[in-house]
A and B are shown apart, each in its own frame.
Chain A
Amino acid sequence: MSDQEIEYAALLKRRHRISTCFEWVCRIATISALLFLAVLLAGVTWQAWGWLDTQFLTGFDSRRPAKAGLLAGLWGTSWLIFFTATFTVPIGVGAALYLEEYATDNRLTRLIKLNLSNLAGVPSIVYGMLGVTAFVRMFGMISAADGWTMAISLGFGTLEIPLPLGRCLLAGSFTLSLLILPVVIIASQEALRAVPPSIRHASYALGATEWQTIRHQVLPAAVPGIATGIILALSRAMGETAPLIVVGAMSYVAFAPGNLDTPIGAVQDPQRVLDAPFDVFTSITIQITNWIEQPKEEFQNLAAAGSLVLLTLLIVFNATAIVIRNRAQKKITW
């Protein structure tokens, strides 16, 4: 072998060594990210061990760690998510339908689309500031001092709407709705875009109107994608803390919204259901935050137990989304 060949062989070996090293660096980076996840989950589980019992899930918060429970937060979060879904689903899907099916490519449409992607990047706490000003205080149009209550009598009870809304559950839901709306709209848009144009053309060819085409062809085909997006967005709303703190969620509440702490209560006394949206509230995340801030050591365990409950709920949500997506992928063949 000539000197050149020897040099080349050595160089080649070195280059391959560098290549292998680089591969390992990348592999270790990935593994370390997975390891972070494992340590986080294991750590939280370890801290929560022994604290996650029926007492914890069925009791209200208490100053004594052994007696404290998550029930107020569980009810609060359920109500919040229920109302958030009620507001976001029609508005989010509607907006996506407009943008994908109706809007012509003019300046207004481009503005809305640009605006959407920017809204998705606004920190959640800014939405909290919007919520407290727009919903809780209603822009100061009605000062809290001369606030009044609008009473609407429904057969089984009276709907009492305080004006301004104040630090109530509904204000929290409105805020979360605005927060996840861009996410829902963008996900729904993608789902609608995945429906091939041929389906629409076939429908129009049969004489269907725009809305009939959307209602009977496009929407049913896009439902799995939309549902996945909505569920993921709702799970994000479920994990939010900061906007709720700014809107004024209570860190210590020892009752469920509207005093409704069992599902049967809704039937026994429907008035409680009507009171719930306008009641003060807490959420799972707020309770966790409150426990973390307590000086007593045991409250840290409660915070871990609360986190574990929250993570479990999120996993259930995400698993549902994945199942829906997989089913839809199998079913649809264009």
Chain B
Amino acid sequence: MSTASASDMPLSEATTSLRRSASFTRLKESGIRSLLFLCAAVSILTTLGIVAILFSNAIYDVSPRQVGPDTLVRPNEAFFQQVSVTEFVTETRWTPGYTEKHFGIMPLVCGTLMIAGIAALIGLPIGLCSAIYLSEYAAPRTRAIIKPVLEILAGIPTVVYGYFALVFVTPYVLKPIFQDLLGIEVGVFNAASAGIVVGIMIIPMISSLSEDVLRSVPRSLREAAYALGSTRVDVSTRIVVPAALSGIIASFLLAISRAIGETMAVTIAAGQTAIVTADPLGSVATMTSYIVNVSKGDAVIGSIEEKSIYAVGLTLFLMTLVMNIISQFVLRRFREVYN
């Protein structure tokens, strides 16, 4: 009886008002959810934006734009509509600013890779050894101090590194060693000084990331190796480093990708001579420094010189993207999982 009367009872006012407020709350909730989704979508839009501007200025311009009276300028055509991809890849001269124009990316890629190579030569061994020291040898207190101090190196603005390369590394390190001692001429602007400071810049990236993965190798592995009579160097180089190899390689790739994309230190210290060369003591131009120098100059908007920075930017973007993707792949695919 009593249960029947309860179910027959009409909805009280309190219940209806609760229901009404609940639907308003629901509306508000879904509104907030959509708003937050839009925030997350900004990151997708950024990527689309980058791809769109590089594509439309470098590969194929879709936007209808007025053709200027100067027919030489051809403002609505993208870079690769005017320059063939074959020339871009095989030509060894890069002279978009001159009357006799050549568009071969090779000198810029060569300069970029030379600086990234020197940086890797400095940064990778020092970074990895620091990581091993911090993870395997240093006392917890030492590590707690050294790690954040090393990370300061990563926080120093790149323009300061460029200044340091130009004002200290070249005159006080490179000149005394190569020019005074060995008699090889050292230019005011040279690839070596830029490479050295970029190498210093990437040390903390490698040491921090690698140290994290080295430390995540379980203690039991180390203890097992010690129990078999290993010395510390055996444990470090034959047990811990191989176990953490995927993370170490990922950190190397990230660091090199950062070195390739590094701009200001290179622009300031390496000069802007776009030539294919193997001489690290001479001036080189990199992809990034070329973009900066064109942006600083007064290239006419729509001119082939202005369009060329998008082609260079596209090459740079693809190179760093591929390295980042490989590094993520290595990290995911070859990660050793311990339980």
State whether the Cβ of B155 lies closer than 8 Å to any Cβ in chain A: yes
In chain A, positions 23-44 with a C-beta closer than 8 Å to chain B are 23, 25-30, 32-34, 36-37, 39-40, 43-44
B295 and A292: CB pair below 8 A? no
Q: Tell me which of A61-69, A110-118, A220-228 binds B.
A: A110-118
Q: Tell me which of A50-58, A121-129, A194-202, A267-275 binds B.
A: A121-129
B46 and A130: CB pair below 8 A? yes
State whether the Cβ of B218 lies closer than 8 Å to any Cβ in chain A: no
The size of the chain B interface, using a CB distance under 8 A, is: 92
CB-defined contacts of B66 to chain A, threshold 8 Å: 143
A241 and B325: CB pair below 8 A? no
A33 and B126: CB pair below 8 A? yes
- Give the CA-CA distance A125 to B316 in the complex, in Å: 10
CB-defined contacts of A19 to chain B, threshold 8 Å: 231-234
CB-defined contacts of A115 to chain B, threshold 8 Å: 43-44, 47
Given the known interface contacts A22-B233, A307-B159, the answer about A27 and B137 at a Cβ–Cβ threshold of 8 Å is yes
What's the least CB distance linking A315 to chain B, in Å?
A: 8
Given the known interface contacts A18-B233, A211-B29, the answer about A292 and B53 at a Cβ–Cβ threshold of 8 Å is no
B28, B43, B130, B231: the one within 8 Å of A30 (CB):
B130
In chain A, positions 82-96 with a C-beta closer than 8 Å to chain B are 90-95
B168 and A43: CB pair below 8 A? yes
CB-defined contacts of A210 to chain B, threshold 8 Å: 29, 33
A122 and B264: CB pair below 8 A? no
What's the least CB distance linking B298 to chain A, in Å?
A: 11
Q: Which residue of B lies closest to A232 (CB)?
A: B155
Interface string of B24-67 (1 = CB under 8 A from A): 01001100110111111111101101100110010000010110
The size of the chain A interface, using a CB distance under 8 A, is: 90
State whether the Cβ of B118 lies closer than 8 Å to any Cβ in chain A: no
State whether the Cβ of B191 lies closer than 8 Å to any Cβ in chain A: no
A125 and B263: CB pair below 8 A? yes
In chain A, positions 214-260 with a C-beta closer than 8 Å to chain B are 235-236, 238-242, 245-246, 248, 251
A43, A124, A181, A314: the one within 8 Å of B42 (CB):
A181
CB-defined contacts of B207 to chain A, threshold 8 Å: 30, 33
- Give the CA-CA distance A91 to B323 in the complex, in Å: 28
B156 and A22: CB pair below 8 A? no
A18, A23, A116: the one within 8 Å of B137 (CB):
A23
Q: Which residue of B lies closest to A36 (CB)?
A: B200
Q: Which residue of A lies closest to B164 (CB)?
A: A40
B137, B138, B163, B203: the one within 8 Å of A292 (CB):
B163
Given the known interface contacts A26-B129, A245-B295, the answer about A181 and B288 at a Cβ–Cβ threshold of 8 Å is no
Tell which of B41, B204, B254, B263 has the most Cβ of chain A within 10 Å: B263
B320 and A121: CB pair below 8 A? yes
CB-defined contacts of A132 to chain B, threshold 8 Å: 295
Q: Which residue of A lies closest to B48 (CB)?
A: A115
What's the least CB distance linking B247 to chain A, in Å?
A: 15
* Interface of A: prevailing SS: helix
B328 and A98: CB pair below 8 A? no
State whether the Cβ of B192 lies closer than 8 Å to any Cβ in chain A: no
Q: Which residue of B lies closest to A215 (CB)?
A: B32
CB-defined contacts of B168 to chain A, threshold 8 Å: 39-40, 43
CB-defined contacts of B323 to chain A, threshold 8 Å: 121
- Give the CA-CA distance A123 to B259 in the complex, in Å: 9
In chain A, positions 1-35 with a C-beta closer than 8 Å to chain B are 15-16, 18-19, 21-23, 25-30, 32-34
CB-defined contacts of B53 to chain A, threshold 8 Å: 129-130, 133-134, 139
B324 and A300: CB pair below 8 A? no
- Give the CA-CA distance A23 to B231 in the complex, in Å: 11
B320 and A123: CB pair below 8 A? yes
- Give the CA-CA distance A308 to B124 in the complex, in Å: 28
CB-defined contacts of B138 to chain A, threshold 8 Å: 30
A285 and B157: CB pair below 8 A? yes
State whether the Cβ of A182 lies closer than 8 Å to any Cβ in chain B: yes
- Give the CA-CA distance A249 to B239 in the complex, in Å: 51
A118 and B263: CB pair below 8 A? no
In chain B, positions 292-339 with a C-beta closer than 8 Å to chain A are 292, 295-296, 301, 309-310, 313, 316-317, 320-321, 323-325, 328
Hey, which bits of chain B sit against chain A, CB under 8 A? 25, 28-29, 32-33, 35-44, 46-47, 49-50, 53-54, 57, 63, 65-66, 125-127, 129-130, 132-134, 136-138, 146, 148-150, 152-153, 155-164, 166-168, 200, 203-204, 207, 231-234, 236-237, 254, 257-258, 260-264, 267-268, 288, 291-292, 295-296, 301, 309-310, 313, 316-317, 320-321, 323-325, 328
